[in-house]
Structure 1
Amino acid sequence: MTGPSSITIRALGASDAEAFRTLRLAGLADTPEAFGASLADESAHPLERFTERLTPPAPSRVFGAFSGPDLVGIAGFLAYDGEKHRHIGLLWGVYLLPAQRGRGIAARLIETLIAHARQHVVVLHADVGVDNRAARRLYDSLGFKLYGVQPKALCVDGRYIDEAMLALDFTED
């Protein structure tokens, strides 16, 4: 998918592991309160671990937004397995470089992920810090609905962060 802003959105593969690792770690450093993982934990993983994340069993996958050859945004889709949960997917790890924000790239990236998820699951979940107003506005605009709040979901530098639990139900279209 390419638009007038010269951004390309596509599924990432093993050959993107180094760029994915670099951007993932940048996101964890830039906005640690937005992720369940920590920079310390993630930076300790070898490149092979990031390659594994980019080559999960189908239909799970990670999507990337590229400006020319540069990876500037990422979003992951995890399809749950198991008989009672395989109808549910999770949107995870969304990050866009600060210089790229405000241009609609994150929306395009997540819309691409949603189009993929819609083919494989009935409902897509996402979690977002209750104080992350920009992310909440974006998810709201894409149709996600609040179904709960997890108090003290994260602890970052001794500060607790509540997370809004969101769902996009594809049967309500």
Structure 2
Amino acid sequence: MNYAIRRLTQDDLAAYRAIRLTSLQDHPEAYASTFDSAAAKPDDYWRQTLDKLCLFGALTDDCQLVGLAGFMAETGDKDRHRGWLIQMYVDPALRGTGCAMALVDTILDYARGRVMQVHLGVWDQNPAAIRFYQKAGFHIYASDPRAYFWGGQFYGDHLMVRYLDMAPGKTVQ
């Protein structure tokens, strides 16, 4: 399946809402948001999210949104050198095709010149995702064993970072 990566716009509102809800429904352990909460949000919420965040999508030749990745920069006086890779999701049919790496590379390219490092959180019980992010040059710098509580259960998170001013995989001593 062919796909192209591009920044999402207000014209993508319905497709963005649909893929975001799919990601939350299919992988509730992977996100801080829940499907029920997101599904109840009005269209205005989704419009504002598209305006506020920098969201990129992987779209097929027939314009189906099959992948999503977002970027959010910190804005504080002392942390504006940091950004976050958020809302990462790829349709199961495209996993292993390079689509996810293309989305991450797009986020990293977008982040260069805006921030010096990109952070992310990944569920600590998802070794495939952890290996994927390590392949993309991220490394674990902290773990939060009870980051989220949902459905009567705790979920842990690994925090990972990619320094854009260093070679991939390099860490600060």
Fold conserved (TM > 0.5)? Answer: yes
1:111 maps onto 2:105 in alignment: yes
CA-based RMSD of the aligned residues comes to: 1.1
TM-score, structure 1 as length reference: 0.92
Q: Distance in 2 between matches of 1:50 and 1:133?
A: 31
1:16 maps onto 2:12 in alignment: yes
Q: Distance in 2 between matches of 1:50 and 1:99?
A: 25
Give % identity.
34
1:67 maps onto 2:60 in alignment: yes
> What amino acid is the match of 2:55?
V
1:99 maps onto 2:93 in alignment: yes
User: Offset of 1:89 from its aligned partner?
Assistant: 0.2
1:134 maps onto 2:133 in alignment: no
Equivalent position SS for 2:156: strand
> What amino acid is the match of 1:28?
L
Cα deviations by residue, 1:2-22 (Å, 9 ceiling, x for unpaired):
xxx521001111111110000
1:42 maps onto 2:66 in alignment: no
Equivalent position SS for 1:171: coil
Ranges of 4+ aligned residues in structure 1 off by more than 3 Å: none
1:162 maps onto 2:156 in alignment: yes
- The size of the alignment, in residue pairs, is 166
Q: Corresponding residue for 1:33?
A: 29
Equivalent position SS for 1:19: helix
Q: Corresponding residue for 2:139?
A: 145
> What amino acid is the match of 1:129?
W
